[in-house]
Chain A
């Protein structure tokens, strides 16, 4: 975020600053919150950065409807195609590297060099997950040896609509690290951005919208994490929830609400997560169902 003075060209005199209106991302479009509410987002030192929409439970409901609608097409797309689209997201991120580095620096109070490094790590994380799209089935699925004249094959299938509470402490790298593993396998996602640092997430939505990612596959909400988590955890049409960004105590409550329709729940790690470390497969396999097929050997 540059200050108005920094953008002033001395030759042309003072220029009016053009402020960005941050919006939600639901179903491939950028609406304001249905409630009309916004809240102030500040940088790490408390300086005002922008107003972000404060989504309501109805926005969460609309986002789930959009995610459900997108699920058939996205889960039915070939793994190769999903990988290409995710790789495209990384390409688009690369093109806006400076903007994201500036937003991450402001949000997390980092030096320019450190913010740049985190942004690069986030882009590399997209590429890493994009590569997994057509490989994860070979690692977690396969042929099973059975004592009978059958081919017995297990394949992973996406769980469905996944609600994701993004980590509060890593506005871009953390977000990418929880979002990419959900969608790469064919799930669709409703993401609640970090409450105090939602701007990188809302800008990421603009990248997703221009990367051939079908509308509704990722829906980004900003606002009170607790306020949005409750209806999402209780929602009967959400199949899984990632509680990465929830505080420990409400997380227990959310798990209880999620139990009603047997949602898959990924609990927050009690000791915290180092988002920069190599992630492993856990976040992908947490939102996969194994389908096993028995087929007679025709001999």
Chain B
């Protein structure tokens, strides 16, 4: 695949001043080459046909489990549910302690402290607490509220913040406003990692997803994330592949590595493998770790565990042998 998304005039030097004004940023983002939708979808479909078996499958299953941001983002979340989710994240398969831990537990800000405490009590401090913030999932709140939301989550012990961009501002073309918001939230995060959610399903076109990717990376995102999981279209192989290409091109242009997190709609081990193949083929080994690639998922873990049990015993497993969350 040619490196087609790095703008021809976007050398190392010119990237530093693309965000000096609204006009400059708009010129840069709208100057990004258009996305070949047919080619992108064909490429994503082709990468989804690989057959992963035996030892490679065992490796991929464990890698995928270790990349999961185990998520509960419901209005009905209770402290008890968050605690049991933490227990599951620390010991995904109670019948097989060799199963790896998940990467993070992803909750609403008011549950971050509960999650932090539960993980400490479990002796699983290696698992991060990720908190959504900035008026997730709509992002429709004033800047002061979004920043307060972020600071509160960090103070409650969140190691990672999943922010949503203001899609209204983005779609209206007010790119600099979105850019400044990301910068301010990043500053409010302090030591916490910042993941920026685009909500691809609301961005309407592939070109917009490419623009949003570059915008977020220029503004200092540590991770770019496909979606909230709250709308009809969430992570799809093509829109994730497009973001993977954007982080590849961004590293080529600036030397900075940014992570990617597809979220929503990834439910089976087979789906997860498709994403891992895309990461390997587009970005290579550098991104094949929980530091640089995550799955935002809840039901995916159970399917990975059932596949793991099948591999260990030779028998097909069933939902009776994993926890109900």
Contact = CB atoms under 8 A, between A and B. Distances in A.
A236 B320 contact: yes
B318 A235 contact: yes
Interface in A33-64: 61, 64
A64 B319 CA distance: 12
B320 A237 contact: yes
Contacts of B318: 64, 68, 235-238
Interface of A: 61, 64, 68, 231, 234-238, 257, 260
B317 A236 contact: yes
A231 B318 CA distance: 13
A13 to B, nearest CB: 45
Nearest to B317: A236
Interface residues of B, number: 9
B321 interface: yes
- 9 closest A-B pairs (Cβ-Cβ)? A237-B318, A234-B315, A235-B316, A236-B318, A236-B317, A61-B316, A236-B315, A236-B321, A236-B316
A257 B315 CA distance: 9
Interface string B185-202: 000000000000000000
Contacts of B321: 236
B39 interface: no
A61 B317 CA distance: 10
Nearest to A58: B316
Contacts of A68: 318-319
Nearest to B315: A234
B251 to A, nearest CB: 39
A235 B315 CA distance: 6
Interface in B265-321: 309, 314-321
A64 B306 CA distance: 14
Q: Which applies to chain A's interface (DSSP): helix, strand, loop or mixed?
A: helix
Nearest to A64: B316
B320 A234 contact: no
B265 to A, nearest CB: 18
Indicate the member of A68, A236, A260 with the most B CB atoms within 10 Å: A236
Contacts of B319: 68, 237
A68 B314 CA distance: 20
Nearest to B309: A236
B95 to A, nearest CB: 12
A61 B306 CA distance: 12
Contacts of B317: 236-237
A287 B184 CA distance: 63
A235 B318 CA distance: 8
Contacts of A260: 315
Contacts of A236: 309, 315-318, 320-321
A158 to B, nearest CB: 16
Nearest to B318: A237
A255 to B, nearest CB: 15
A257 B313 CA distance: 12
A237 B317 CA distance: 6
28 contacts: A61-B316, A64-B316, A64-B318, A68-B318, A68-B319, A231-B315, A231-B316, A234-B314, A234-B315, A234-B316, A235-B315, A235-B316, A235-B318, A236-B309, A236-B315, A236-B316, A236-B317, A236-B318, A236-B320, A236-B321, A237-B316, A237-B317, A237-B318, A237-B319, A237-B320, A238-B318, A257-B315, A260-B315
